[in-house]
Structure 1
Amino acid sequence: MYREEHRMAIVKSLACVDQVFVEESLELKGQYIKEHSADILVMGDDWAGKFDHWNDLCKVVYLPRTAEVSTTDIIQSIREEPGLTFPRP
């Protein structure tokens, strides 16, 4: 298990990510979208349809979850890429 700050560092290292922040409340999602000028809200498809009302502020995308894919394995393969460094848990 990775601590929150390590997960945030991994996500922030992605070229397509401009900013990472901790969401304190689902009820404040609209406020977060506005404060951070979000272009896209990405959620797992287990939330499908539940955030469509934010489409007036940004694009809402639901990504499918893949049961047979291990986040731990993905992180390990990223860590093994030459030239990349990430904090250890």
Structure 2
Amino acid sequence: MTKRVITFGTFDVFHVGHINILERAKEQGGYLIVGVSSDELNFAKKSRYPIYAQKDRIKILESLKFVDEVFVEESLELKPEYIQKYRADVLVMGDDWAGKFDGMKNLCDVLYLPRTPSISTTEIIEVVKSL
């Protein structure tokens, strides 16, 4: 039986770290659902809007062969509802979130995967700004 895997992120300034975690998330079940943080949610989290607009980030994710479904995440507090709506069996997040979603274990399995070392969107943006 194919497990349904769900993950969340902004996926701004798309890079190899995003690809790595999405590929590994897909390996956890076979059907990968990705929640993309809305522009407004990203502003609420990081006090800045993404470099790439929401529709462009969605298009990038939808073009990946290992992503089966994409939706807009409007609120961090709605994660339990998203897990239920998309009938997820596994929630996958980067290990920088380790422990923060353990409360979802009553809804599905929760797995924290290691991030790709030495790469992050925030770091990329800071490097570009300094040029």
Q: What TM-score range do you get, normalising by the shorter chain?
A: 0.5 to 0.7
TM-score if structure 2 supplies the norm length?
Answer: 0.45
Distance 1:45 1:23 in 2: 20
Aligned residues: 71
1:36 aligns with 86
Alpha carbons of 1:40 and 1:13: their partners in 2 closer, same or farther (altered >3 Å)? farther
RMSD (Å) for aligned C-alpha atoms? 2.1
TM-score if structure 1 supplies the norm length?
Answer: 0.61
Distance 2:92 2:86 in 1: 14
Q: 1:17-70, CA deviations, whole angstroms, 9 ceiling, x for partnerless residues?
A: 221111111111101111111233222222111112212322222222335236
Alpha carbons of 1:68 and 1:20: their partners in 2 closer, same or farther (altered >3 Å)? same
Distance 1:70 1:53 in 2: 26
Structure 1: runs of 5+ lacking an equivalent: 72-89
1:58 aligns with 108
Report % sequence identity. 61
Structure 2: runs of 5+ lacking an equivalent: 1-50, 122-131
Distance 2:111 2:62 in 1: 19
Alignment of 1:1-89 (within 5 A): 1-69=51-119
- Aligned AA (2:88): A
